[in-house]
Each structure stands twice: as C-alpha cells, then as structure tokens.
Amino acid sequence: MTNQDLLKIADEFGTPVYVYDVESIKVQYEKLTGSFSKNTRFFYAAKALTNINILKYIEKQGANLDCVSINEVKLGLKAGFSSDRILFTPNCVDITEIEEAMAFNVHINIDNISILEQFGNKHGGNYPIFIRINPHIFAGGNYKISTGHIDSKFGISIHQMRHIERIVKSTNINVEGLHMHTGSEIKDPDVFLQGLEIMFELADHFPNLKYLDMGSGFKVPFQDGDLETDVKSLGKKVDKAMKDYTKETGKEFQLWFEPGKYLVSQSGHFLVKSNVIKQTTATVFVGVNSGFNHLIRPMFYDAYHKIENLSNPKGPERIYTVVGNICETDTFAWDRKLHEVREGDVLVFRNAGAYGFEMSSNFNSRLKPAEVMFLDGKATLIRKREEFEDLLKNQIEVL
C-alpha cells in the first residue's frame, strides 16, 4: 500500500480513519510459523484488534485465537474459529463468565486462586483447564505493559504452587496447560527462555499436562533504529530447549504463543487532518481532527508512533508538536520533525493497527472513526464512522 493509496482513502472515506493493510498480517504470521517448529501453535491476541473482518482474515491464515472476554470468544466463533482453536484467558472475572465459556467448549485459563477453588469445587475434573502462572519476571517496554512482575494482578505466583497443588488434588482438577505472559515489547529473547525453564520446573506437578503457553510480547519496531524481536533466533533457541527437555524427561509438550501487536500493529495506518497550526512563544502546534479518544497509546503508554505528512511530502522540514482536539492534554508527539504542515493536510500515524481503534472512546461526546481494509489493491469500508445518533443509542430518556 502506497502513500497515494492512503490519500485516496482519506479522500473517499474522510478522516479520521483507520486503514489496515491486511496482507502485512499474513507476512508477520508467516514469519512466526517459519521460525518455530511444527509443534508450535500461535493464538492471535484478539484484544489488539477485533474487527470481525480482521478476525476472519487471521482465521483463514490458520492462526488460533486468544480471548480475554466472553464477547471476544463470541466474536471468534462468529468469525469462524472452532472452539478447539480458542483460548479464553480472562482476568478478575466472576465464575459465571468462566462457566459461560465452558458452554462454548473452548480452552479455559484460570489466573487466580479464588476462581481456581470455585471452579474445582463446582466442576472438579469434568473440564480440563490451563493455569496462568506469575513467574515474577519483570519484562516489557515499560511498567504499564509488564504483566509478570511480583506486584502484577495477572497469574498465580510461582510461590503459591503448594496452594495450587492442594486445590488441584482435593478437587480433582484436570490441568492440561500451563500459561505465563511476562509483558509486551520484550527486547531480550532470553526472557522467553527464562520463562520456559520455569515452566519445565513446574511441569512435574501436573501429570496430565499437554501444553505450555508462553504468552507473547514479540516486539515490532516503532521508529527508525528500534529493535525487533528476532523470532528466527528465538525459534531455534526454544526448539533446542524443548528437545533437550524431551530427551532428558521423555515428556513432550505442544508450545503455544499469543502474538497480538506483532501480527496487526504494522498493518495499521491512522489518517487524520490538520485542523489548525497554532504558534505560541516557544512551540508550533499542529492540531488535528482526532485525540486520545481515537488513539490513546501515546498518552497512556508514552508510545511512539511515526507521523508523516502525506499531503506535503517534499516540503521543508519543521519542528511541530502534534496535538488533538480533546479538552484534555492529548499530545501525540512533542517536537517532532515533519515536512511543513498546512491546515487541511492529511497526516498518517504508522503502526496503528494494535490498540488503536480497539481502545477508542466517545470522550467529549466525539464520534469513533471509520475503519477500512486494504486487500488486493482495493479499499473496503469495514466499519462505518459513527453518527450523532450513536451517542444516544443506549440512553434512556426519563425527563
């Protein structure tokens, strides 16, 4: 997909708009499948982007699906994923949501002692489960996206293994899988090997174990010079570790990963229009027709998105601070070098496929943007831009 394609999309569908070049998803998926052994399965982390068309495309590539809510499970089934290709890994949900997932016959992952005990007392060994372990490994791009450290709300501490064993044995729970996820944007592949060694140590506690799920955290580059997870090297190291374990113990497990951002981030291009150029005593602002109601990652995670001026790609470079139209501080980028921006120019935020539209809101009573899929040289609308009536859709007027 070229910049000219993006400009045509902005002209046809308006801005702001999310555009997904879905063929790049296929490229990323094939990188993974070509780097790991055939005894490895990949579950797309649906929370990154759940448009039904994206899910259908990913299903056709042969991937499986990782879900964190019961509605993601339902979306996955509607998109064509069979129940055996769906893993449900919720956090801090009521037991009734677990039981609703059981009715769909998907894989279920339990991540706290309370639900594990409730599940065992009610269902015993009638339904196999995964247990999510907190390995106490600090990893990820920053604290907000690190999920395996000692103070994380995710998973059951490895130091509570004795407690887990008591519940499993006393209620006859059938544990078929162990799961851990240490964080996102992991730069050091040895973090995965460290986690795998912990998994091997815990495996002896569960005689019916079939699967080891390492979560994900594969990093994609967001700016020039950024590191990317070397999945080929990681695949070789993991494969060796698995073979060495099998040779030593005679046990063989299927290995699972849950890439989300790695698959869809680079497919996404977020197009906005420059509304105003505002110069203060020290700063030149570009105010665009969007805000953190559409793309919250820069404000929430201090995330970097490369920004380009599609309308004036050969203009002189100037320094701008790019901000949104929300009545809060919604700064996308400070002191960013861009080709001269004029009012009405179309700007693009790169790497916007993951946690972009998915985390959008109606803050300030502003409308959510459209979504467009680009495939085989054709742009197709896959979500309409919201209209004013959508803001009132579920409200009940009583006055």
Three-state secondary-structure class, residue 153: coil
Q: Among the options 276, 319, 327, 391, which is catalytic?
A: 327
Backbone angles phi, psi at 378, to 5 degrees: -120, 135
The encoded tokens of residue 301 equal 């995670």
Is residue 143 annotated as involved in ligand binding?
no
Q: Cα 374–380–384 angle (5° rounding)? A: 120
What is the Cα–Cα distance from 333 to 350, expressed in whole angstroms?
13
DSSP string, 43-105: EEEGGG---HHHHHHHHHTT-EEEESSHHHHHHHHHHT--GGGEEE--SS--HHHHHHHHHTT
Burial (0-12, 13-18, 19+ Cβ within 10 Å), 225 = exposed
Is residue 343 annotated as involved in ligand binding?
no
Is residue 355 annotated as involved in ligand binding?
yes
CB 332 within 8 A of CB 304: no
The dihedral built from the CA positions of residue 45, 47, 52 and 54, taken in this order, carries a sign that is negative
327 assigned to active site: yes
What is the Cα–Cα distance from 279 to 164, expressed in whole angstroms?
60
The pairing of beta strand 64-67 with beta strand 331-339: unpaired
Other residues' Cβ atoms within 10 Å of the Cβ of residue 22:
20
Is residue 297 annotated as involved in ligand binding?
yes
How far is residue 192 from each of residues 133, 180, 198, 202, 237, measured CA to CA in Å? 14, 10, 10, 15, 10
The pairing of beta strand 211-213 with beta strand 254-257: parallel
The encoded tokens of residue 243 equal 């073979």
Is residue 97 annotated as involved in ligand binding?
no
Binding residues: 217, 297, 301, 328, 355
Q: Which residues are annotated as a binding site for substrate?
A: 297, 301, 328, 355
What positions carry a catalytic annotation?
A: 327
Annotated binding-site ranges for pyridoxal 5'-phosphate: 217, 355
